[in-house]
Amino acid sequence: MSAFSEAALEKKLSELSNSAAERADLVPVAHPPPQALSAHCHPNDVIQNSKRKGPEFTKDFAPVIVKAFKHVSSETDESCKKHLGRVLSIWEERSVYENDVLEQLKQALYGDKKPRKRTYEQIKVDENENCSSLGSPSEPPQTLDLVRALQDLENAASGDAAVHQRIASLPVEVQEVSLLDKITDKESGERLSKMVEDACMLLADYNGRLAAEIDDRKQLTRMLADFLRCQKEALAEKEHKLEEYKRKLARVSLVRKELRSRIQSLPDLSRLPNVTGSHMHLPFVGDIYSED
């Protein structure tokens, strides 16, 4: 890895997205609110992957991760809290931290309110609210931002063929509880335990990447909806201007037609006799009234 510098870290974090969190090199302790969720995705990735090979990371993160959760809880909206709650649920299911640390994280994220399970009806209401929010007007994105978001999805988790192959190649022993009866000694049990642990890490990490991809696609959907709305408004404005200029063209064309008609009805002065350039002179008065 190249030499560490704070400026390089800030630059890398400013470009961090949900789906690219696992590719960042360094981990923040705190980060500005706009990238708070993305900044927390990377510590999660480090903690999960270092559970066996580098457990000291899990221990070192414990004192600061609680402060980070408090910071995000106070600075971000409910949507971000839901994502962090999902990370916290994974840590709890996999016993990443002791119960006392998990309780501190819950307290930091939810305060005195404990998270409660939602009913199916509540989940459907939230989904409907999310769908309706897609139509809410907001600042339209720039074309370059759309292109960049689409390019980011080219390397999304759903298209990771290598991980798909690894998941498809998982041994059946880690997927069937009934096969646990075949364990006859401690050595085979430990070997299977390692296989199960590796499978859990693989699936948990991939599920996290898929969840991040879903968030990115939802964000892209909102961006596309705003962009399409902006383009429709611009199209309506241009069509209105086109109709206005068509009416102006019709009025000018009518004036031109009337002008041509009037010009054609005027006498042709070029056909009158030339009285100024002739050598003929008018008769004198004496010639007209001459005496006989």
Model pLDDT, residue 19: 44
Per residue in 90-125, is it b (16+ CB within 10 Å) or e — as a string? bbeeeebbeeebbebbbbbbbeeeeeeeeeeeeeee
Q: Confidence band (pLDDT; 50, 70, 90) for 290?
A: low
62/83 Cα distance (integer angstroms): 19
pLDDT at residue 1 tops 60: no
Residue (of 125, 115, 100, 105) closest to 44 by Cα position: 105
pLDDT tens column, 141-161: 888 888 888 888 888 888 888
Domain positions in the chain are 12-120, 140-232
CA atoms within 13 A on the CB side of 9: 12
Residue type (1 letter), 238: K
Task: For residue 225, give every residue at least 6 positions away whose Cβ sits within 8 Å of its Cβ, in sequence order, or none.
Answer: 134, 135
pLDDT in tens, 6-49: 676 666 666 655 444 444 433 343 344 444 555 556 566 666 66
Whether the CA torsion 103, 107, 112, 114 is positive or negative: it is negative
Burial class (CB in 10 A: 0-12, 13-18, 19+), 290: exposed
pLDDT tens per residue, range 181-230: 778 888 888 888 888 888 888 888 888 889 888 988 998 999 899 999 99
pLDDT value at 106 more than 70: yes
What average pLDDT does range 60-73 have in this prediction? Answer: 77
| pLDDT greater at residue 93 or residue 158 | 158
Assess contact for 209 and 162: CB atoms under 8 A.
no
Could you tell me the CA-to-CA distances from 185 to 163, 179, 192 in Å, in that order? Answer: 31, 14, 11
**Who has greater pLDDT, 25 or 135?**
135
pTM of the predicted protein model: 0.42
User: Which stretches within 15-119 are classed as H helix?
Assistant: 36-53, 55-75, 78-93, 99-110
- What confidence tier does 253 reach under pLDDT thresholds 50, 70, 90? very high
| Cα–Cα dist 84/40, whole Å | 8
Helix, strand, coil shares of the chain as percentages rounded to 5? 75, 0, 25
Q: Which of 81-90, 126-135, 167-176 has the lowest mean pLDDT?
A: 126-135
The verdict on domain 12-120 having CATH code 1.25.40.90 is yes
Extract the tokens encoding 261. 């008609």
Q: Which residues fall within 8 angstroms of residue 213, CB to CB, at 6 or more apart?
A: 18, 19, 153, 156, 157, 158
pLDDT beyond 90 at 245: yes
**Residue 111, Ramachandran bin (φ over 0: left; ψ between -120 and 50: alpha; else beta):** left
Residue 252 vs residue 136, higher pLDDT = 252
